[in-house]
């Protein structure tokens, strides 16, 4: 792997995937401070505070509106990339983060809960666009494809961990700092905006979309660090020739295409399962989960930070082993571990009244869910969406997978507080069932895609 290729991958992941992870976890530690702000603002406006039910509803909307913004962003990204290229789309979306940071940073000063919600939705818009914009695979069947394909998942974990560290009481976890805590997102976005122009455009975009052979060759020379890039050019030319006789499939055409039904169903299952596994409930509401498990309130921020460190390690393990063990083992093992640990949380919560040490079992199960997710399900679904389809169907597949991903993210973020109130400890059994069913589907249906070209993978399904 060359320094330019690693550098641009790190930069794009730092300004997109890391922000996604940060925004998943940033609402966890200041939850009570944000609720207090909402309550006091409501009281100033209307002369009375909010009841617990409406307050929970308003906060759940603040948490989950991020996913609705992501849904809109995922639907717009194709148009942006086609018009401005990968680098141009990423640069323009970084400007959105600066706007969102301003809304959230000045919300308390201006006494406006609406600004927090608007800021969260704009950060979601950025994440939705960047995720699909940077999730494209390398054009060749080399062992870099899996490594670089999982690089964004490492930065998701780093983003979550950064939010957990900055949310400590000694840093930005105090009441008066929560607007600054939410608006820290402007820092990585600014760095990406400043540095992205130092790298060439995506070679695949240049050759296939713009037919710029010279530009694609120069970009490959820069990224791969070798004068001989003819094999890579030829593979992309072969794909371009195959596309010349066909038009890009729409979402409706993809859903109706019987030759693609198993690939499409696989994208639906792994992307929906990724979010319905309960990982977003863990990230959005970690402190609440630990509080219900009986962990002392003073220890919760540090326990949460410990889980974040473990998830980074798990993500690194997945990133460096994906080309050795393949995609299937990582995603199957990850979902199975998450399912078992979800059941473990239910059991530990039911028994903790009689066995106080069960609270530590709950913490271990939360760690197991996060580690299992980061080793495979965090990044492999995006990689699989890219690898299961030819270029003609890939944009539609991204729209299907991305839309489901964000809709399920919104659903979990919005309903989990109410699910937890109504079902108690048994709510985790829902996640257990989802994880085990997805693992079974992958085992029975989805083939290994390691070191295979897009054409070979299509022939396996056909």
Buried b (16+ CB within 10 A) or exposed e, 115-149: bbbbbbbbbbbbbbbbbbbbbbbbbbbbebbbbbb
Average pLDDT, the chain: 83
pLDDT surpassing 80 at residue 46 = yes
Helices (H) and strands (E) in the chain, counts: 22, 0
Q: What are phi and psi of 100, to 5 degrees?
A: -65, -40
Residue 382 CA to chain centroid, in angstroms? 9
pLDDT surpassing 90 at residue 122 = yes
Which bin fits 118, alpha (ψ -120 to 50), beta or left (φ > 0)?
alpha
Which bin fits 392, alpha (ψ -120 to 50), beta or left (φ > 0)?
alpha
pLDDT tens per residue, range 399-418: 888 888 889 989 988 888 88
DSSP 89: H
Q: Distance (Å, rounded) from C-alpha 44 to C-alpha 108?
A: 13
- Pick from 32, 19, 22, 21: which is nearest to 287 by CA? 32
Domains 1-199 and 249-461 share a fold: yes
Instruction: Tell me the C-alpha to C-alpha distance, in Å, between residue 392 and each of 85, 134, 240.
Output: 17, 18, 10
- Pick from 233, 124, 119, 127: which is nearest to 182 by CA? 119
Q: Distance (Å, rounded) from C-alpha 125 to C-alpha 72?
A: 6
Question: Residue 90: which pLDDT band, with cuts at 50, 70 and 90?
Answer: confident
pLDDT tens per residue, range 198-243: 887 778 777 777 777 888 888 887 788 777 778 888 878 877 777 6
Contact 130, 15 (CB under 8 A): yes
Q: What pLDDT does 123 receive?
A: 93
Q: Distance (Å, rounded) from C-alpha 379 to C-alpha 331?
A: 9
Q: Which CATH fold would you assign to the domain 249-461?
A: Growth Hormone; Chain: A; (1.20.1250)
The DSSP-derived string for 46-67 is HSS---HHHHHHHHHHHHHHHH
Torsion angle defined by CA atoms of residues 375, 376, 377 and 381, in that order, rounded to the nearest 10 degrees: 150
Average pLDDT over residues 435-443: 93
DSSP 199: S
Q: What are phi and psi of 64, to 5 degrees?
A: -85, -15
Domain made up of 1-199: CATH architecture: Up-down Bundle (1.20)
Q: Distance (Å, rounded) from C-alpha 336 to C-alpha 324?
A: 20
Average pLDDT over residues 340-365: 87
Q: Domain residues of the chain, as ranges?
A: 1-199, 249-461
DSSP 258: G
Q: What pLDDT does 132 receive?
A: 53
Instruction: Tell me the C-alpha to C-alpha distance, in Å, between residue 272 and each of 194, 343, 345, 402.
Output: 35, 20, 22, 9
Q: Distance (Å, rounded) from C-alpha 290 to C-alpha 296?
A: 8
> For tokens 């054409």, what's the residue?
455
pLDDT surpassing 60 at residue 142 = no
The number of C-alpha atoms within 13 Å of 34 and in the hemisphere containing its C-beta is 30
Question: Residue 28: which pLDDT band, with cuts at 50, 70 and 90?
Answer: confident
H/E element, 10: helix 3-15
Q: What pLDDT does 38 receive?
A: 93
Q: Distance (Å, rounded) from C-alpha 255 to C-alpha 266?
A: 12
Q: Distance (Å, rounded) from C-alpha 189 to C-alpha 26?
A: 16
Residues 6 or more apart from 223 whose CB is under 8 A from it? 2, 4, 5, 8, 200, 203
Question: Residue 422: which pLDDT band, with cuts at 50, 70 and 90?
Answer: confident
Residue 305 CA to chain centroid, in angstroms? 19
Residue 204 CA to chain centroid, in angstroms? 23
Q: What pLDDT does 1 receive?
A: 64
Residues 6 or more apart from 101 whose CB is under 8 A from it? 119, 182, 183, 184, 185, 186, 189
Contact 438, 270 (CB under 8 A): yes
pLDDT surpassing 90 at residue 254 = no
Residue 316 or residue 148, greater confidence:
316
Of all residues in the chain, what percent carry a pLDDT higher than 90?
A: 21
Question: Residue 140: which pLDDT band, with cuts at 50, 70 and 90?
Answer: very low
Q: Distance (Å, rounded) from C-alpha 86 to C-alpha 170?
A: 39
Q: What pLDDT does 84 receive?
A: 79
């Amino acid at each position: 792997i060359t320094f330019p290729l690693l550098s641009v991958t790190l930069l794009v992941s730092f300004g997109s995937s890391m922000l996604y992870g940060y925004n998943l976890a940033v609402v966890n530690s200041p939850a009570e401070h944000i609720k207090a702000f909402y309550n006091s603002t409501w009281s100033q406006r209307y002369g009375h505070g909010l009841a617990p039910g409406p307050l929970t509803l308003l906060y759940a909307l603040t948490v989950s509106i991020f996913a609705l913004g992501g849904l809109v962003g995922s639907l717009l990204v194709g148009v942006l990339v086609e018009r401005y290229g990968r680098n141009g789309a990423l640069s323009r979306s970084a400007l959105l983060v600066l706007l969102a940071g301003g809304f959230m940073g000045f919300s308390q000063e201006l006494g406006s809960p609406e600004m927090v919600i608007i800021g969260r939705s704009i950060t979601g818009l950025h994440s939705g666009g960047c995720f699909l914009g940077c999730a494209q695979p390398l054009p060749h069947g080399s062992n870099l494809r899996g490594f670089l394909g999982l690089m964004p998942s490492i930065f998701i974990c780093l983003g979550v961990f950064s939010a957990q560290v900055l949310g400590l009481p000694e840093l930005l976890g105090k009441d008066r700092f929560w607007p600054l805590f939410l608006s820290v997102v402007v820092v990585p976005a600014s760095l990406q905006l400043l540095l992205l122009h130092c790298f060439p455009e995506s070679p695949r975009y240049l050759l296939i979309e713009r037919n710029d052979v010279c530009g694609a060759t120069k970009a490959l020379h820069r990224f791969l660090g070798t004068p001989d890039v003819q094999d890579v050019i030829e593979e992309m030319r072969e794909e371009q020739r195959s596309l010349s006789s066909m038009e890009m499939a729409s979402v409706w055409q993809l859903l109706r295409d019987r030759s693609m039904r198993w690939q499409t169903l696989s994208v639906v299952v792994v992307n929906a399962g990724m979010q319905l596994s309960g990982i977003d409930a863990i990230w959005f509401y970690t402190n609440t989960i630990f509080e219900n498990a009986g962990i002392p309130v003073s220890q919760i921020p540090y326990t949460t930070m410990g889980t974040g460190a473990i998830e980074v390690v798990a993500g690194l393990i997945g990133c460096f082993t994906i080309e050795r063990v393949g995609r299937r083992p990582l995603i199957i093992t990850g979902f199975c571990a998450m399912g078992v640990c979800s059941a473990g949380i239910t059991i530990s919560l039911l028994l903790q009244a009689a066995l106080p040490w069960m609270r530590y079992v709950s913490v271990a199960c939360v760690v197991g869910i996060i580690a299992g997710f980061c080793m495979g399900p965090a990044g492999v679904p995006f990689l699989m969406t890219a690898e299961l389809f030819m270029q003609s169907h890939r944009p539609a597949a991204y729209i299907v997978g991305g839309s489901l991903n964000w809709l399920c993210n919104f659903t979990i973020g919005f309903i989990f507080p109410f699910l937890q109130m109504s079902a108690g400890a048994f709510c985790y059994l829902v996640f257990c069932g989802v994880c085990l069913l997805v693992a079974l589907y992958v085992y029975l249906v989805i083939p290994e895609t390691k070191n295979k070209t897009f054409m070979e993978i299509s022939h396996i399904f056909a």
